[in-house]
Every structure is written in C-alpha cells, then in structure tokens.
Amino acid sequence: MSNILKWLGLSKHETLKKNRQKFYDFNRNKSLEDYDFVVFDTELTGLDPRTDEIVSIGAVRVQKLRIALGKNFFCYARPNKPLPKDSTLIHRITPSQIIDAPPLSETLPDFVDFTSGAVIVGHFVNIDMNFLNRATRNFLGGTIKNPVIDTMKMAQFYEDYRKRNYYEDRVSRLSFGLNDLAKKYGLPLFEKHDALEDAMQTAYLFLFLAKRLRNVGISTLRDMIAAQSRAAFSSDRDSYTA
C-alpha cells in the first residue's frame, strides 16, 4: 500500500510538504535583494545518478545579497556501497570519515529544511540537482520546488554580454570552471572539491555576477531565470572544467 501511495505522490514526507507550500504561489518579480538564496554543492561517489550517491552536502545562506555568516549547512552521508577509490582521489573523503556518518535518508530532511523559502544556487547545478531530486524522491516521496539558479549560466550570460557590448575575450577561450572563474574575477579562493568550501566559492561568484548583471537590467529573480535560460553554451561549452 505504501508503494502505491508513493507512486501516486500521496505519501510525501512532512518536510517536503512544507517545502512545496513555500513555493505554491512564489513571487519571482521582486528585487534580488529581497530573496534568500541557499548556495550548495555536493560531493559524490561518481557522476551516474542511477548508481552513484551523495556523500557530502555543503551550503551557505545568502540574504540581502550578502553571505549570512553562521548560517551554513554541512553533513557527511554514509553511502550504501563502498567508496570508489577514484572518487576519494577527487574529494579526499575517506571511508574512515563516513563510516559513522548517518545515511542520507536521515540528514536529507535537515537540508530540505535549510533551503526553506530560498532560491537554490549552484555551479553547473544540474548535476547536483539530479542527485538531490533522486534522493528526495527515494526518501521523501517527491522533489523539491525551489527555483534554481546556475552560476555557470550566469557567467556565460555575463561573458556573452561583454563580448557583444565591449568586444572582450573574442579570441581567448574561457573556462567556466568554478575556480577558473574565481581567478578571472579576482575572487577569494577556497579549497576545491570540499562541499562547504565549494559552496562558499560559488556564493562569492554568485554575488559578483548578481551585482554586475544588476547593472545591465537583471534586477529581479524572473530576470535572472530568463537570462540564464538564454545563456548560450556556443563554442565555449567544451571549455568547462569542474
């Protein structure tokens, strides 16, 4: 019976119900300063959402286009399968670090609560959202409804605007990797492949781009969503590096 209810979407976790209520009639026409944003990143056992798992989530909250100090989220999550050596070489999370960690099913409601009422932000965020929504479907009975912003698409829109209006970077190829963009824009640099550090790196990038795009008429959340949907991968898309 529970499987039938889950298939029908009638057995959603209370945390997921609260999340959906927050976005039932969400106003996307307010100034960006008026929203809370949760900037997040995940570390994974691999990149296949059908078989791989989340082993760490890090997030920071942004309010009034400022990083809200002390409003962070971080957790390890013990996967069902042993950590692949290849993934450990990337994110440096070892089996000993997660052997006593709770499974994702226990920590996921806390993360969904942390995102309450906020717009979600990530870099190349589709990967993270695919894993997150698969987990919420499995453990909470559905997907979250937060609007989502991708800083990689923001950067693509910004760079395209600069090319069209200031003829910049027409010859050189630009990597849209998180750390490469941080270096290009002179932002503080954080440790790579650590969920919380990458979330902080993404938050700095998001704030940099949001403030500059505001100067070219991207002032509301609806504007931002429309801009990122127009961000062309064009010839630079294969220059993305994680």
Q: Are 225 and 147 a contacting pair, CB within 8 Å?
A: yes
- According to DSSP H, which parts of the chain are helical? 2-8, 14-22, 85-91, 95-98, 104-114, 125-140, 151-166, 178-184, 195-214, 221-230
Query: 42: closest CA among 30, 56, 60, 32?
Result: 56
Q: Are 113 and 22 a contacting pair, CB within 8 Å?
A: no
48 or 26, which is more confident: 26
Q: Kindly write down the DSSP assignment for every residue of 160-202, as one continuous string.
A: HHHHHHH--SSSS-----HHHHHHHTT-----TT-HHHHHHHH
How big is the chain by its Cα radius of gyration, in Å?
18
Query: 139: closest CA among 54, 42, 61?
Result: 54
Amino acid at 208: F
Residue 88's pLDDT is 56
Amino acid at 4: I
pLDDT in tens, 64-76: 999 999 999 999 9
Query: 57: closest CA among 40, 35, 32, 34?
Result: 40
Instruction: Report the distance separating Cα 13 and Cα 5, nearest Å.
Output: 12
Band of pLDDT at residue 99, cut at 50, 70 and 90 = confident
Instruction: List 63's β-bridge partners, or say none.
Output: 36, 66
Among positive and negative, which fits the CA dihedral 27, 233, 157, 196? positive
233 has a pLDDT exceeding 80: no
Q: In the predicted model, what is the mean pLDDT of the chain?
A: 86
pLDDT in tens, 186-199: 999 998 889 999 99
50 has a pLDDT exceeding 90: no
Structural tokens at position 171? 């010859």
Return the ∠ at Cα 170 (arms to 165 and 174), rounded to 5°: 110
Instruction: Report the distance separating Cα 237 and Cα 233, nearest Å.
Output: 5
Q: Which of 82-86, 200-204, 227-231 has the lowest mean pLDDT?
A: 82-86
Average pLDDT over residues 173-179: 87
What does the DSSP 8-state code read for residue 141? Answer: S
Residue 94's pLDDT is 67
234 has a pLDDT exceeding 50: no
117 has a pLDDT exceeding 90: yes
For residue 229, what are the CA distances in angstroms to 149, 194, 225, 233? Answer: 10, 28, 6, 11
216 has a pLDDT exceeding 50: yes
Residue 92's pLDDT is 62
* Residue ranges of domains in the chain, CATH in brackets: 2-148 (3.30.420.10), 150-239 (no CATH)
